[in-house]
Amino acid sequence: MKPGSVHVVILNWRSADMALRSAETALHAMEGIEGLITLVDNDSGDGSFETLLSAADARGWTESGRVRVLQAGRNGGFGAGNNFGLKQPGGPDVDHVLILNPDAFPDPSMIRLMRDYMDARPGVGLLGSRVEGTDGRHHETHFRFPSVASEFENAAQTGPISRILSRRIVAMPMPQQAGPVDWVAGASLMIRADVLERIGGFDEAFFLYFEETDLCRRAAEAGWPTHYMPEARVAHIGSATTGMKEWKIPPDYWFQSREHYFRHNHGRAYAVMATVAHLAGLGVRRLRMAIGRDDPTFPKGQAAALIRHAFAPGRPRQINRSEYRRDPA
């Protein structure tokens, strides 16, 4: 493929209509750019794969060779599904990969802007775009790496503590120009192919959440920083398949992913400290409630879930780096 080629991977789970809309907008954004769009169905079991394949055939996408539709065969989560799309035989030998959520719809210039930014800065390993709701509201997708301090601040949600720990809060202020951040959300994430060759793909021990945080950290440790580009925009519905907006507390897989992230990036002792810090932050919120301050969003049951997963056996990494090596020229 020519320099600057892009492979877009869209992972679907029971959201076929949105995934097709995402693919259609991505096709427009790929005009003049060599590459391929891969639609992966993560074993939805609701007819999504057949819908995707039939629609792609009817629209001439598959015949043109511009789109392929794959069935993962199992729902191993976000990382596993995207890894499946990236490593299948017959995939393109490209310079960049774009991970795109099925409920994310890129602006016509987004992919070109991101591709050109990466091409002009060979030291940048990953790049996130600006993510906005379909109402135009900015979504926070530019972050610092989680830490003991951020766990305490996030759980406490108390003004004086947040001001003191402002430089440890995971969600960063909106960058006004493109530049480095610790990590970006996986809703719209461009990755240099060389990075995947060097560090492998997503760690499949994460079912959902923290996998892109982990990927950006491993890339940074290997010398590949992550940048954020506010000029490149994507419209994102958000939580369309996870139902996150209705959560009272996160599901078990969120706690599993959080625990796995801290253990494998910082060690068991640090993971324990992070959990203790989070519990202490929840204690601050309880104290506020005890002295009469109403807190209707207090996450009842979260402390018990954190403790339960803190004592769970460790989960081994599932990365097989050899699967991401391109065939020698």
Q: What is the DSSP string of 270-306?
A: HHHHHHHHHHHHHHHHHHHHHTT---TT--TTHHHHH
CATH fold group of domain 6-145+171-244+319-324: Spore Coat Polysaccharide Biosynthesis Protein SpsA; Chain A (3.90.550)
Phi, psi for 15 (deg, rounded to 5): -145, 50
| pLDDT for position 163 | 97
Q: Where are the alpha helices (DSSP H) in the chain?
A: 16-29, 48-58, 61-64, 78-87, 110-120, 148-156, 159-164, 193-199, 211-221, 252-266, 268-290, 302-310
What gap in Å lies between CA 198 and CA 219, rounded to an integer? 8
pLDDT digits (tens, 9 = 90+) for 66-83: 999 999 999 999 999 999
Split at pLDDT 50, 70, 90, the class of 246 is low
Report which residue type is found at 288.
R
Separation of alpha carbons 127 and 192, rounded Å:
9
Give the H or E element holding residue 85.
Answer: helix 78-87
- CB under 8 Å, gap of 24 or more: what pairs does 287-295 form? 288/158
Give residue-wise pLDDT tens across range 88-141.
877 778 999 999 999 999 999 999 999 999 999 999 999 999 999 989 899 999
Domain boundaries, the chain: 6-145+171-244+319-324
For the entire predicted model, the pTM comes to 0.92
Read off the tokens for 143: 């972050």
What is the β-pairing status of strands 183-184 and 35-41? unpaired
**Residue 267: what pLDDT?**
96
* pLDDT value of residue 91: 74
Per-residue pLDDT at 228: 98
